[in-house]
Chains A and B, each alone.
Chain A
Amino acid sequence: GQNIDQPTEMTATEGAIVQINCTYQTSGFNGLFWYQQHAGEAPTFLSYNVLDGLEEKGRFSSFLSRSKGYSYLLLKELQMKDSASYLCAVREQQAGTALIFGKGTTLSVSS
C-alpha cells in the first residue's frame, strides 16, 4: 500500500521563499514527481527525483531523501502566479509507471 502526506494549505508573500513538504510510505519506490495545478487546469510537470539530493530548476528546487521517505519543493522569489495547488506523486515499482498522488497543497501568494 501507499500513503502520501502533504500540508493542505500554505500562505506566503510575494518575493518570499516557501518549502512544501511531502512524506511518503510505499512498498517499492521508483521516483517522485512534483506537479503544479492551477484551479480548473491540468497538472503541469515541475520536477522529478529518483536519487537522493537536490534538483534545481530556476526558481524551483526539489529535494529527496529515500531513507526518510521525504521530499520537499522549494519555491524562491514567489510571484502571484505561483498561487496554485502543488501535487506530490510517487511512482511505485509494483504499479508499473502509474503515479500515486497526494491530495495536494494549496499555496496562496499575497502581495
Chain B
Amino acid sequence: ETGVTQSPTHLIKTRGQQVTLRCSSQSGHNTVSWYQQALGQGPQFIFQYYREEENGRGNFPPRFSGLQFPNYSSELNVNALELDDSALYLCASSLRSATGQETQYFGPGTRLLVL
C-alpha cells in the first residue's frame, strides 16, 4: 500500500464527453504526477503539479488539464474524449527534495473506457 488513492476505479464514457479523475496523495507529499498507460505499454507522462502549479507537461493536447489543491490532492480533466483515450490513468505522489532526487509512488489507477 502506497497511501495514494484514486477514484473512480473504473469509468465508461462515450466519445465527446468530459471526465474528471481524482487522486489523493500520500500524506506529506507535495508533488503529483499523472500518467496514461495503454494496454501493453509503459506509462506515459501527462503532467506534474508541485505546490498547486503545473511543473512539467508531456506530449498531450490541451484537452488534458489538471489541478492540484492546497491539501495536495489532484484532478485530471479530459475534454472531448476520443476512443484512444481509453487507458489506465495513474497518479503518482512524491516529496520534492532540493536535489530533485525523489521517488514516485503510484495509486491503483482509474481504468477509463471510451465507447
Contacts and interface: CB of A to CB of B under 8 A. Distances in A.
B31 A97 contact: yes
A89 B42 CA distance: 9
Contacts, number: 68
Contact of A104 (B2, B42, B44, B100): B42
Interface of B is mostly: loop
Contacts of A103: 40-42
Interface residues of A, number: 25
A44 B90 CA distance: 12
A64 interface: no
A102 B101 contact: no
Interface residues of B, number: 29
B107 A42 contact: yes
Interface of A is mostly: strand
Interface of B: 2, 4, 31, 33, 35, 40-45, 48, 55-56, 58, 90, 92, 94, 96, 100-109
Interface of A: 4, 30-31, 33, 35, 41-45, 48, 50, 87, 89, 91, 95-104
